[in-house]
Structure 1
Amino acid sequence: MTTPSESHPRHRLDDLLHAPIRFSIIATLGGADNAEFSFVRDTIEVSDSVLSKQVSTLEAAGYVKVKKGYVGKRPRTWLSLTPSGRAAFEKHLEALREIANS
């Protein structure tokens, strides 16, 4: 039997996405097929090391794909949402909307 507290939308919030920096990363990637590491870093206003650590956490969860390559001779890193990352973000947003509208 479901208790009233278990039916509250907050139980559907994703703990990984609840952290402001990880939420910002996912939100930034949600609007594009992929984005350069530097673009995401500058958009969410964090250092390389902070972004790298949080991207590693999201990658380990299967939410973000990291692709490394070169543009000319310069190394580049591109980030993109995986299908499960996009689905998790949508579910998280839906729960937030339910909370805000209740």
Structure 2
Amino acid sequence: MGIMAYLANAETATFSELKDKLEASQGNLSVQIRKLEEAEYLTVDKRIVGRKPLTTCRITKKGRDAFAAYLKALTNVLGLPPKD
């Protein structure tokens, strides 16, 4: 949920940025990113920049739609008024 919430606002983020912002361990974050990638909720770009690996995650339309549906369902469960 944290990854999707962050990417819903930022659109893209590096692995390091997500790790820092979400205060997640490297292993846990890797597993979660892989699961979201398999669900096609985000895309992952891995490359070498200046001899260092750079992993960038980007939310997909499918991911954005799924996250919006999740937030709507959560709002309904909590009995909150819908947001326009």
Smaller-chain TM-score bracket: 0.7 to 0.9
Runs of 4+ off more than 6 Å: none
> How far 1:72 sits from its partner (Å)?
2.4
TM-score by length of 1: 0.73
Residue 45 of structure 1: which of 1, 18, 23 is its match?
Answer: 23
Please give the alpha-carbon distance, in whole angstroms, between the structure 1 residues aligned to 2:40 and 2:14: 18
Instruction: Note the aligned Cα RMSD (angstroms).
Output: 1.2
For structure 2, list consecutive stretches of 5 or more residues without a partner in the other structure: none
Q: Which residue of 2 aligns with 1:62?
A: 40
Task: Note the 1:14-53 alignment, pairs <5 A.
Answer: 23-53=1-31
- Over the matched positions of the two proteins, sequence identity in percent amounts to 39
Please give the alpha-carbon distance, in whole angstroms, between the structure 1 residues aligned to 2:58 and 2:72: 21
Query: Which one has the largest radius of gyration?
Result: 1
* Structure in which a larger fraction of residues adopt helix: 1
SS in 1 for 2:10: coil
For structure 1, list consecutive stretches of 5 or more residues without a partner in the other structure: 1-22
Residue 50 of structure 2: which of 72, 75, 82 is its match?
Answer: 72
Which whole-Å deviations, capped at 9, do the CAs of 1:47-74 have from their partners, x for residues lacking one? Answer: 1111001110111011111011233222
Q: Which protein, 1 or 2, shows the higher relative CO under an 8 Å CA cutoff with sep ≥ 6?
A: 1
Count of residue pairs the alignment pairs up: 80
